[in-house]
């Protein structure tokens, strides 16, 4: 059994000032509920002003991602629903309260150096093609896989069950990349999901991407030993 943490933001008052969203609670909480229905432990669920950028920032940069009351790196599997955007060599996710910042920059993340193995970034551009590894390599410190989107990620009643659908399959032991691509893809809403895994070499990364389940027991790879990333997507 694995531990799960969820965060979501629909409201972005000043000074954070992003466009309001409507369904981020449903995607993240759907995942948490589904995983719990499969017997896993849903440790925390923080939303709107209770979801903080410091929950994702590594302690080396003044964050609290290892906080057992809500740090992303304190659980095995984390799911964040919000706004997001890709830079040339980084990814940022938006939060609704300035604690301490409105934007989490993944260059200040060291995910997996405590516990985290898998993360869903249910945001726009979280794994923006063609080179998502350039934006995420510095963040992989034991993390196995990132699941997200290239281009937009819909905030719609039509797709607000993707967290639940993915969680039901992931929690039952489905191959993670298969489950994410199947359940997060939407032709109607133009959602193009992506899954990316790291490896010690090309074949290791490919094997992990195509075959890892939450029951697989692939070992953690220190950042200095990662030599390859492999990703797949659906469009």
Pairing of strands 193-199, 228-233: antiparallel
Specify which residues 33 forms β-bridges with.
Answer: none
- Residue 175 to residue 206: CA distance in whole angstroms: 13
What is the helix (H) or strand (E) element at residue 176, kind and residue range? Answer: helix 176-184
First to last CA, the chain: 32
Q: Which CATH architecture has domain 3-233?
A: 3-Layer(aba) Sandwich (3.40)
pTM: 0.97
- Residue 94 to residue 152: CA distance in whole angstroms: 15
Residues 147-157 as b or e (16 or more Cβ within 10 Å = b): bbbbbebbbee
Token pair recorded at residue 218: 């692939």
Residue of 215, 189, 160 lying closest to 33 (CA atoms): 160
What does the domain layout of the chain look like in residue ranges?
Answer: 3-233
| Residue 32: predicted pLDDT | 99
- Residue 139 to residue 123: CA distance in whole angstroms: 17
Average pLDDT for runs of 10 along the chain of length 235? 99 98 99 99 99 98 96 99 97 98 98 98 99 98 99 95 99 99 96 99 99 97 99 98
């Amino acid at each position: 059994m694995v531990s799960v943490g969820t965060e979501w933001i629909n409201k972005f008052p000043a000074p954070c000032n992003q466009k309001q969203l409507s369904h981020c609670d449903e995607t993240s909480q759907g995942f948490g509920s589904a995983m719990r229905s499969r017997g896993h432990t849903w440790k925390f669920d923080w939303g709107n002003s209770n979801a903080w950028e410091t929950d994702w920032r590594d302690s080396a940069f003044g964050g609290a991602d290892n906080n057992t009351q809500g740090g992303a790196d304190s659980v095995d599997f984390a799911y964040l629903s919000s706004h997001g955007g890709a830079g040339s060599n980084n990814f940022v996710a938006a939060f609704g309260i300035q604690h301490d910042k409105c934007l989490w920059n993944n260059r200040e993340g060291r995910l997996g150096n405590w516990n985290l193995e898998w993360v869903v970034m249910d945001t726009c551009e979280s794994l923006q093609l063609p080179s998502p590894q350039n934006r995420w390599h510095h963040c992989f410190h034991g993390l196995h896989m990132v699941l997200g989107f290239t281009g937009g990620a819909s905030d719609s009643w039509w797709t607000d069950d993707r967290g639940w659908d993915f969680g039901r399959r992931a929690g039952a032991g489905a191959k993670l990349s298969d489950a994410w691509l199947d359940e997060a893809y939407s032709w109607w809403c133009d959602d193009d999901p992506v899954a990316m895994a790291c490896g010690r070499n090309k074949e290791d990364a490919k094997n992990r991407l195509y075959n890892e389940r939450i029951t697989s027991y692939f070992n953690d790879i220190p950042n200095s030993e990662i030599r390859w990333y492999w990703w797949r997507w659906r469009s």
